[in-house]
A and B are shown apart, each in its own frame.
Chain A
Amino acid sequence: MKQQPVESPTVTVGKARTRLDWAAWALALPLVVFLAFAFFYPLGYTVVQSFLKEHGAGATLLNYSQFLASGKGQGVLLLTVFLSLMATLVSVLLSVPLALVLRKRFFGKSFIQFLMLVPALIPALVGALGLLILYDRTGWLNYFLVRVVHVAPHPLVIDYTIPGMILFYVWIYFPYGALVILSGLQSIDPSVEEAGVVLGASPTRVFWSIVFPLLRPSLWAGSILIFLQAFGAFSVPLITGGNHRPLAVMIYTTATVFLEWPRASAMAVIMGLIQAVLVMVFRRLQSGKEATS
C-alpha cells in the first residue's frame, strides 16, 4: 500500500516547506558513500585498468581489440552465449509444464513449489558439487542406466562436457524463470480458459490458442532472468567446466592465474556492458509490452 511521503513536523529536517527535500539525501548518504567507495570506485578502477598496457606504461585499446578479434576471445563469448541460450531454452521447457501442473491442487504441492526454488537458494558451488558427483562416470545416473536398466553399454560422460554444463546450468538457474512463469500463469483469468473449452476448444487447443499467447510476456521475462544468471555464471563452470571456460571463469583465471589484470579488466568491462545492455533492452521491452497489452 503506497502512501504519499509526508512531511509531518517532527520528521522533516528544516523548517522551510521546500518542494524537494534535499536534506533527505543526508539519510541516503551513508549508502551512497559506501557504494561509491566499495563499488563504483573499484568499477572505475577496472575500467581504467582495461586501457592500460600489460607491459609498460601508456594507454591502449589492445586489451579490447585483442580479445574481441582473437579466436580465443570470440570463442569464449560464443561459448558463454551458447551455454546461456541453451540453458534458457531447456529451463523454459522445464518450467512451463511444471507451472501447468502446479495449478492443480494435489498432495505435496507446496513441497514441489519449495523444490522449485531450492537450487537458487543455496550457493551454486554446492549445487555444482552435488551435480558433479551425481552425473559422474561412476555416479548414480550412470549406475542406473548401465547396471540397473541396461540401456547404456558404457557410462555417459556428462561432467565437464558442454551438454553437462547446460544441464547443470538448468538445475541451478531455472528457478529464476520458473517463478515468473508460474505467477504469470496464475494471473490468467481461469474463466477465459473455461470459455475456450465451452466454446469448443479441446484442452490442447485452449493451451496453444489462449493460454500460451497470454503467457508470452512471462515467458519472455523469465527467459531473460535465466539468461542473465547463466551469462554471469562463475562457480558452476569453475568446477564443472573442465576445459571449457566461459567468460566469468576466463576473467578470473586471466586475473589471478596469469596475473594479466589489464586484459582481465577489459574482459570484465565487456561482460558488464553486455549484461547491462541486455538488462536495459529487457526493461525497455517490458514496459513497451505492457503499454500495448
Chain B
Amino acid sequence: MNETSLELQNIAKYFGQLAALNDVSLAVSNGEFLTLLGPSGCGKTTLLRILTGYLQPDSGRVIVAGKDVTETPPHKRNMGMVFQSFALFPHLSVNDNIAFPLKIRHVPASEQKKLVDEALRMVHLETHAQSFPRQLSGGQQQRVGLARAIVFRPSILLLDEPLSNLDANLREEMRAEINQVTRRLGIASVYVTHDQQEALALSDRIAVMNHGKVIQVGTPDEIYNTPRTRFVADFIGHSNCFTVRVDGGSGTIDGVEGSLATEGFRDLSGPTSVFVHPGDVQLSSETRQGKNGLHCTVVDAAFLGDRVEYVLELVPGVRLKVHNTGGRGLFSPGSRIWATFPSDKMVVVEND
C-alpha cells in the first residue's frame, strides 16, 4: 500500500551554465499527492518535464514502480498529465480528446466508450461529449484535460499549474474537483504550483523548491508550522518573520527593548530568523514575564468585530501582524506596547 510509486534520484539539469536542477531527490508513494511548490524559475516545471521524459536530466535517475525509466522515451512512460494551457487537441471533440490515450493503447472500442463515459461523469461533463474545445469555457476545458489524463488509469498523474489559467472564482471549484478525482482513483500525483494555498489544500506532502533545490519536504502542517528556512516561511505565507541576534540563549533586536527566549535558541548565536503566528502574540501595556517581550509601537489597529488586527513596528521597516481576540480594548496607533511571544509558539528558521 505504501510502496514507492515514483522516485527521483539525484536529478541535475543544466541549461548552459545555469543549474536548473541541482541534486534533487524525491519519492512519491502510491496514492500520495505531492506538490512541488516554489516561485517561477525554481525548477519545478523542469523537474516535471524530466518526469515525463520530455527533458533528459544531465545526471540522476527516474524510477517508476521500481523500474528505471530514465532512458525510456516519454510516450512509453504511461503517465497522465494535465497542462496549464489545457493543451486539448483543437481538431478533436471532447469525447475524442479523452479517448485519445485509449486509442493509442489499442483499447477495444466498447471498453473505450465505457472508460470515456466514466471519465466524463467524474468531471461532470457528460453533456458536452460532442463539443469542441473552442466551444468550452476555461474551466470546462481543464476538466476535459483532467479526464483525458486519468482515463487510461496511469500509475502517475502529473499536473502542471493546472489552475493558473483559470479565473480566480473557478479555481476553488476546480481544486475541489482535482482533489475528488485523485482521491477517488488513488493515483500518485505530482502537482506543480506557485500558489501556497493550493499546495496546502491539496497535498499529502509539499516539496518547497528554490533555485533548483528542494528546500524542505513535509506535510502541509509541517511546512506551515515548522518552516525550516526563512524562504519557506515567507513563501508559505508567513509575514511575521523577523531577525534577532541570539546570544546566550536570548534573542534581541538592536534598538528594541526586551528580549526573546525559546528552546530553539539554545545552540545558536548570531542573526537568526524567527516567526510567530499573528494569533499567538499577546499584547499589553506592561511587560509580562520579562523574558519574552519586545517593546514596539502600534502602527495600525483595525477593529473587525471578532478580533482586532494590529500592525506593530519593532524597528523602522520591521513590522508584525497581530490578531488579538481578547476583548481587552483597543491600543491606539502611536502607542507603545509590549508584545509577548510565548516561547513554545516561536519557530526558529534558518537564514537562507
Please tell me if A203 contacts chain B, counting CB pairs below 8 Å: yes
Q: With A195-B83, A197-B75, A198-B54 in contact, do A205 and B104 touch (Cβ < 8 Å)? A: yes
Q: Which of B227-256 contact A (CB under 8 A)?
A: none
Partner of B91, one of A198, A199, A213: A213
Known: A194-B54, A197-B54, A198-B52. A203 touches B75 (CB 8 A): yes
Q: Does A202 contact B (CB under 8 A)?
A: yes
In the assembly, what is the distance between CA of A196 and CA of B92, in Å? 12
Contact indicator A199/B90 (Cβ below 8 Å): no
Given known contacts A192-B90, A194-B54, A214-B90, A199 and B85 CB-to-CB distance under 8 angstroms: no
Return 8 A-B CB contacts under 8 Å, by A number. Answer: A192-B87, A197-B74, A197-B75, A198-B74, A198-B77, A198-B79, A202-B75, A203-B75
Residues on the B chain within 8 Å of A214, using CB: 90-91
Residues of chain B touching chain A, judged by Cβ–Cβ distance below 8 Å, are 52, 54, 73-81, 83-85, 87-91, 100-101, 104-105, 148-149, 152, 158
Instruction: Kindly state whether residue A71 has any CB partner on chain B within 8 Å.
Output: no
Residues of B within 8 A of A196 (CB): 89, 100
Contacting residue for A200 out of B78, B83, B91, CB 8 A: B78
Are A191 and B87 CB-contacts (below 8 A) given A199-B81, A199-B104? yes
B75 to A201, Cβ gap below 8 A? yes
CB pair A189 B87 closer than 8 Å: yes
User: How many angstroms from the CA of A202 to the CA of B74 in the assembled complex?
Assistant: 8
Q: Does A62 contact B (CB under 8 A)?
A: no
**0/1 string, A158-199, CB within 8 A of B gives 1:** 000000000000000000000000000000010110111111
Q: Are the C-beta atoms of A194 and B78 separated by less than 8 Å?
A: no
Is A120 among interface residues, defined by CB-CB distance under 8 A? no
Residues of B within 8 A of A202 (CB): 73, 75
Tell me if A's interface is mostly helix, strand, loop or mixed.
helix
Interface: A86 (CB within 8 A): no
CA distance A131 to B247 in the complex (A): 86
**Contact of A90 with B by CB under 8 A:** no
Q: Which of A189, A194, A199, A202 has the most chain B CB atoms inside 10 A of its CB?
A: A199
- Tell which of B73, B76, B100 has the most Cβ of chain A within 10 Å: B100
Instruction: Determine the chain B residues whose CB is within 8 A of the CB of A189 once the complex forms.
Output: 85, 87
From known contacts A205-B104, A213-B91, A214-B90, infer whether A198 and B85 are also in contact, taking CB-CB under 8 Å.
no
Tell me the minimal C-beta distance from A204 to chain B in angstroms. 10
**Contact status B101-A200, CB under 8 Å:** yes
Given contacts A210-B89, A214-B90, contact A199 B83 (CB under 8 A): no
What is the size, in residues, of chain A's interface with B at 8 Å between Cβ atoms? 20
A201 / chain B contacts, CB cutoff of 8 Å: 75, 100, 104
Query: How far, in angstroms, from A196 to B74 measured CA to CA in the complex?
Result: 10
B100 to chain A, nearest CB (A): 6
Per the bound structure, the CA–CA distance linking A200 and B102 in Å amounts to: 9
In the assembled complex, the Cα of A205 lies from the Cα of B149 at a distance in Å of: 18
Residues of B within 8 A of A209 (CB): 100
Contacts of B89 in A (CB 8 A): 192, 195-196, 210
- Chain B hits for A195, CB < 8 A: 81, 83, 87-89, 148
A16 to B101, CA, bound (A): 65
Q: Write out the residue numbers on chain A whose beta carbons fall within 8 Å of the beta carbon of B158.
A: 198
Bound-state Cα–Cα, A211 to B342, Å: 62
Which residues of chain B are within 8 angstroms of A192 by Cβ–Cβ distance? 87-90
Considering residues A196, A200, A203, A209, which has the most beta carbons from chain B within 10 angstroms of its beta carbon? A200
A209 to B105, CA, bound (A): 14
Q: Which residue of B lies closest to A205 (CB)?
A: B104
Known contacts A192-B87, A192-B89, A192-B90: does B81 contact A200 (CB below 8 Å)? no
Give A204's nearest chain B residue, CB to CB. Answer: B75
Known: A194-B54, A199-B101, A200-B152. 13 other contacts (CB 8 A): A189-B87, A191-B87, A192-B90, A194-B52, A195-B83, A196-B89, A197-B52, A197-B74, A200-B78, A202-B75, A210-B91, A213-B91, A293-B90
0/1 interface trace, chain A 249-293, chain B, CB 8 Å (1 if under): 000000000000000000000000000000000000000000001
A191: contacting residue among B76, B85, B91, CB under 8 A: B85
Chain B residues in 8 Å Cβ range of A206:
75
With A189-B85, A191-B85, A205-B104 known as contacts, the answer to whether A198 contacts B90 (CB < 8 A) is no
List the A side residues contacting B73 at CB < 8 Å. 202
Measured in the bound complex, the distance between the Cα atoms of B158 and A207 in whole Å is: 23
A209-242 CB mask vs B (1 if < 8 Å, else 0) is: 1100110000000000000000000000000000
**Residues on B with beta carbons closer than 8 Å to the beta carbon of A194:** 52, 54, 81, 83, 87
Task: State in angstroms the CA–CA spacing of A60 and B149 once bound together.
Answer: 70
